[in-house]
Amino acid sequence: MANPNYIPREELKALSVLSPHKTALGIAFNWAVIIVAISVSVWSQSWLVYIASIAIIAGRQHALAVMNHDFAHHRFLKNKVLSEWIGDIFLAWPILITVNSYRTTHMEHHFHTNTDKDPDFVPRQTMKTYKFPMNVWFLITSLLGYAAAITSVYDIKSLHLKKISDTTTRSYVFARLGFYAVVGLIIGFTGTWQGFLLYWVVPYFTFFFAFNYVRGVAEHFSGMDYSTLEGGTRTVLPYWWERAFFGPHNVNYHSEHHLYPGVPFYNLPALHKRLMENPDYRNAAHITRGYSTGLVSEVLQDRYIRPSQVIAPAE
């Protein structure tokens, strides 16, 4: 699928300029939120606060995965070797994947989007959780399955295993194992195994995969027109609270990303605004308002429900 020239080359070049400090601030913010969520939960000794904290932590784990996506596109530093190590240590390894293994499948996804050669699209065709229209009760029970970590295990087996293993070189494997060994030793010496299980493992196997599932559906499934890239790739304009869980770091601008993958995450809102000024893009794009509203309606009906009002970025 060829990318139409919706905006001038000069503007696209300007939007593709890297600002590493913005990415670094994003990484620092994610980890700061995780630390604060853990601290508040431990201090409160409340189960309600704990449940809220694991949702927040999982949201930031999801955000780490989204930033890893930018690293897979080399959207951090021009020094690719240094960028790769930073991405692995602070983003990928903590959620049991690697930048390179993710890049391998993700580039194929870009080259063969929504076709029988797309490694992200093909396995989902046989999964019950990606069959649409979906019965409302099946949707609810599927999401509850993530809360019980049942659906998460299913997703790991079906979708996640290729992104977990990476045997690029023997030294890389040793470095990665060394990372996990050091983390294990720190947890062991500090006696924080219970905290690690409660505040990292539990969020990971529950809400983290739930948020990934919602995003996976939103990006390329239900009510799509796969004859065009714009019609087969959904952009969601989220409500403010949805950004934290389903659309961190502007990953909701997925149509824009597929058209111009060289644009880093912090410039996607500007890219979206510029593209919406072009009537050809505006008429071709699949744009949905809200994950909890527009997306749910499309999932239950398996058809695109175009917003009746002028589309603007959600506040």
How high is the pLDDT of residue 82? 97
How high is the pLDDT of residue 162? 61
Question: Cβ distance 259 to 235 under 8 Å?
Answer: no
- The residue-averaged pLDDT of 163-192 equals 89
How high is the pLDDT of residue 165? 66
Chain mean pLDDT for the chain: 93
Domain regions of the chain by residue span: 9-301
* CB within 8 Å of 277: residues ≥ 6 apart: none
How high is the pLDDT of residue 309? 43
* CB within 8 Å of 191: residues ≥ 6 apart: none
Residue pLDDT, tens place only, 110-167: 999 999 999 999 999 989 999 999 999 999 999 999 988 888 888 887 766 666 666 6
- The residue-averaged pLDDT of 29-38 equals 98
pTM across the whole model: 0.93
How high is the pLDDT of residue 311? 46
How high is the pLDDT of residue 315? 47
Question: Cβ distance 283 to 32 under 8 Å?
Answer: no
Distance CA 116, CA 95 (A): 28
